[in-house]
Amino acid sequence: KQRVTVIGGGLAGTECAYQLARRGVPVVLREMKPHKRSPAHKSDALAELVCSNSLRSDNPESAIGLLHAELRALGSVVLSAADANRVPAGDALAVERDGFSGAITQSLLSHPGVELVAGEVERLPDEGPVVIASGPLTSDALTRELERHVGTKLYFYDAIAPILSADSIDMNVAFRQSRYGKGGGDDYLNLPMTKDEYHRFIAELKAGQKVVPHAFEEPKYFEGCLPIEVMAERGDDTLAYGPMKPVGLRDPRTGQDPYAVVQLRMEDVGGTSWNMVGFQTRLTWGEQKRIFANFIPGLQQAEFLRMGQIHRNTFIDSPRLLSKDLSLKTEPRLYFAGQVSGVEGYVESAACGYLVALALHAKLTGTEWVPPPATTAMGALLRHVTGEAHPPDYPHQPSNIIFGIFPPITGRMKKAEKRAAYSARAKQDLAAWLPHAGVPAAGSPEHRE
């Protein structure tokens, strides 16, 4: 069979390579690490989680939880590694990041159908099928090469949150609790603020020095991942209704509801490091240390294991450039998977890699590509990337999986009932479609986990 080149061993590339290989299609997986790294990638492993260690809600009545369930049913290597490396985080599927990436790396390295070739890809191979899964931080040389193929500029900006060392957080101030006692009830650390403390913090945040983008760069942020200072500029209370909202939390020491909180989520099973939830920022590193330590109660002695950062986000205008099978209209041997195709998020990127594997497998085997129904989370993501979920002139932007990109369920219903209805419809339609996915049966020659 023809070999497929997959460029990028991230969330999308590993899932795509694995799903092709386990269906008998040989793959060359080309990953630039360890020779070269993006500013956010640190480890040598494949499928690195560059920011949060959370794959978000695992509740199947949320859109992302539904996507988890579908990927599990499809035998996703990413979901299986996540389940095997889970750490407590309420109803979220959070993972111990090295164990997670290590498990995926091992699955690929041990598969006879996958050859891993290290080194930056600067030019696309001249022939054969190619999957571009080089992610939001595609290297500059490859970005220029892709721009030549698609004919447009390919980037915008968003930002990542800091990580703190546990033993540097003042536990006389922080209290452990999940909102409304979800999950174990105490998976998060909360730093409570009074109204005065909150407003002093906001004033500092607004005045703080920010990293200025280069003159030629126009910062365009993804709405779901706005830097805190950009939110603060929209109104002094925007953060208190956003990532710093106190709802469902009560300080057990005072019995009071805080005016605002900074929530910290566990980064590793041992709870030695904690992520500042929703605190992506482009404050300079010096200003982050000064403002967070002096104006967030409990962080006076904070040790920052990673600072918040600004980062580029590379993606193509998929609805106009790609066919329904995610191949480039003008060069159908080229496929796009993951964030570069305009999905947002770890799990969404893996799901998109899976979709490309299915479409490409169908093409290589001369069979009909039967996409997942639009009513499933997998199908809804595909609808978003190909533009079917949006009006024709809608400007394409990376999106997380949300019920808003599913075909609507109309009629008056309570929110929870509607979510349950989306979930039930998806479950039924996925089951009917599943045989088209050709998931190798356990025990078959192509089945290797």
Residues found near ligand FAD in the complex (CB under 6 A): 7-13, 30-33, 38, 40-41, 50-52, 120-121, 133-139, 142, 160, 311, 338-340, 344-346, 349
For the CB of residue 13, give the shortest distance to ligand FAD in the complex, in Å.
6
Cβ-closest position to ligand FAD: 10
Say if residues 78 and 14 touch (Cβ distance below 8 Å): yes
Write down the least CB distance from residue 222 to ligand FAD, Å: 9
Minimum distance from residue 442 beta carbon to ligand FAD (Å): 27
Element (H, E) at 311: strand 309-314
Shortest reach from residue 199's CB to ligand FAD, in Å: 28
For ligand FAD, the closer CB: 173 or 225: 225
Q: Residue 40 or 421: which CB sits closer to ligand FAD?
A: 40
The H or E element containing residue 365 is: helix 346-365
Region of residue 86 (phi > 0: left; psi between -120 and 50: alpha; otherwise: beta): beta
> CB of residue 141 vs ligand FAD: minimum separation in angstroms?
6
Return the number of other C-beta atoms located less than 10 Å from residue 157's C-beta.
19
Of 49 and 193, the one with the shorter C-beta distance to ligand FAD is: 49
Take residue 29 and report the two structure tokens written for it.
Answer: 């997986």
Instruction: Decide: 232 and 19 in contact? Cβ < 8 Å.
Output: no
| DSSP labels, 63-79 | HHHHHHHHHHHTT-HHH
- 173 versus 264: smaller Cβ distance to ligand FAD: 264
Could you give the 3-state DSSP secondary structure of residue 385? helix
Q: Which residues lie across from 364 on neighbouring strands?
A: none
Whole-number Cα distances in Å, 27 to 58, 344, 364: 31, 25, 13
Q: Which is nearer to ligand FAD, 225 or 261 (CB)?
A: 225
We find the least distance from the C-beta atom of residue 176 to ligand FAD, in angstroms, to be 22
Radius of gyration of the chain measured on its C-alpha atoms: 22
Please give the DSSP secondary-structure letter assigned to residue 413: -
Six token digits for residue 236:
């002094």
Q: Tell me how far apart the alpha carbons of residues 411 and 408 are, in angstroms, rounded to a whole number.
A: 10
- Contact between 70 and 378 under an 8 Å Cβ cutoff? The reply is yes
CB 6, min distance to ligand FAD, A: 10
Q: Which is nearer to ligand FAD, 202 or 340 (CB)?
A: 340
Q: How far is the CB of 279 from ligand FAD (least distance, A)?
A: 11
Q: Which is nearer to ligand FAD, 82 or 249 (CB)?
A: 82
Cα–Cα distance for residue pair 200/222, rounded to 1 Å: 27
Residue nearer to ligand FAD on the CB measure, 106 or 250: 106
SS3 letters across 129-153: CEEECCCCCCCHHHHHHHHHHHCCC
Q: Least distance (Å) from ligand FAD to the CB of residue 408?
A: 25
When the beta carbons of 217 and 417 are compared against ligand FAD, the nearer one is 217
For 443, how many CA atoms within 13 A lie in the half-sphere containing its CB?
A: 0
Which residues on neighbouring strands pair with residue 132, listed in sequence order? Answer: 7, 336
Closest separation between CB of residue 135 and ligand FAD, Å? 2
Task: Name the residue nearer to ligand FAD (CB basis): 295 or 346.
Answer: 346
Alpha-carbon gap, residue 368 to 75, rounded angstroms: 21
